[in-house]
Amino acid sequence: MKKIGLLIEIKDDEIKPANYGMITMAHGDEHQLFALVVNADTPAYRDALSGSGVTDIVDISTPQGAWHPDEWADAVVHAMDRFGIGTLLGLTSPQGRDLLPRIAAQLDAPLVMDCLTVDLDRNVARTTQYSGKAMADIQLTGGHYIYGVRANAVPPVPLLRTAGIHPFAAPESPASGLTVLATRPGKAGTVDLAEADVIISGGRGMKSGENFKVLHDCARAMGAAVGASRVAVDEGWVPYTYQVGQTGTKVNPKVYIACGISGSVQHFAGMKSSEMIIAVNTDPDAAIIGKCDYYIIGDLFDIIPEVTRVLEGGGR
């Protein structure tokens, strides 16, 4: 039996849904699962975690309280030492990409990001390589093991356990050369791209940033997230946080709708594991047409508003 740490992310006082799949990945072989929660403003998350299969909840508080990646990483390292945790799983998310490398550096531990599966008994992580063309099983060695798990890589499976609660006040961190000037939370009620069940993305065919309103309206009607191709981001139409692809966010939704996207190798590498891919494009020879499950040849500016109208109750 191993002691496994799970770095839990909270947004708007609720556990981010992708955490539950990560916890499921750690089920089995009676491992002791420690949910590590940093500076949570509400204890309401404890009941939800108890139904997810964790055996222990470590409620970590830092001296400053506010977000600071150096201080938070230092606090997690101290908690791992206090509870004898040798393996840590976190999400491959913006927060995870900030914290996990810092934690690994402090522990002089190997780190693998964007894991699709993790074998905790053999310390083996499976990831994609060469723009998703191949899979690699990576064997880790050392005293500690750190994994960044891709959101939605594993569906969550509830497992009811009574979790012990352990408050942990982290000691003062060493002086940091990093100053957090401000934090700007995303819009309330929006769906995180990496965790979305449905994503509607736009590419060169959107023609401008203003035209992304068509996708936002449709996404709001279907409870989806809005993504984009690299071209749309490079043109400055949408922020980098929208980008799906090899150099953006890798996603695993149930449905991925590609609007005006040609389907480059770079983009396809970030969404190829979608359960269903739907393309809307005026070009019947676009690469995306040969890679999708369903396609519509037509103008997205005619098709998507009509889909929105139907979803909002406008009928056929």
Confirm or deny that 261 is annotated as ligand binding.
yes
Q: Is position 260 annotated in a ligand binding site?
A: yes
Q: Is the dihedral of CA 178, 62, 7, 45 positive or negative?
A: negative
Q: For residue 202, say whether it is annotated as part of any ligand binding site.
A: no
Say if CB 229 and CB 199 are below 8 A apart: no
The residues facing 189 across adjacent strands are: none
Provide the CA 290 distance to its chain's centre, in angstroms: 27
| Nearest to 302, CA basis, from 260, 267, 256 | 260
267 is in an annotated binding site: yes
265 annotated ligand-binding residue:
yes
Instruction: Determine the angle formed by the axes of helices 69-83 and 94-107, rounding to 10 degrees.
Output: 60
Is residue 173 annotated as involved in ligand binding?
no
230 labelled binding-site residue:
yes
Q: Is 60 annotated as a binding residue?
A: no
150 annotated as a binding-site residue: no
281 annotated to a ligand binding site? yes
Known binding residue 19? Answer is no
Q: Would you say 177 is a known binding-site residue? A: no
CA 233 to CA 226: how far, in whole Å?
13
- Residue 32 counted as an annotated binding residue: no
Instruction: Name the nearest CA neighbour of 75 among 56, 62, 59, 58.
Output: 62
97 labelled ligand-binding: no
Cβ contacts of 18 within 8 Å, gap of 6 or more: 9, 91, 93, 151, 152, 192, 194, 195
- Residue 204 in marked binding region: yes
Which residue positions form the known binding site? 204, 229-230, 243-247, 260-267, 281
Which residue positions form the known binding site for FAD? 204, 229-230, 243-247, 260-267, 281
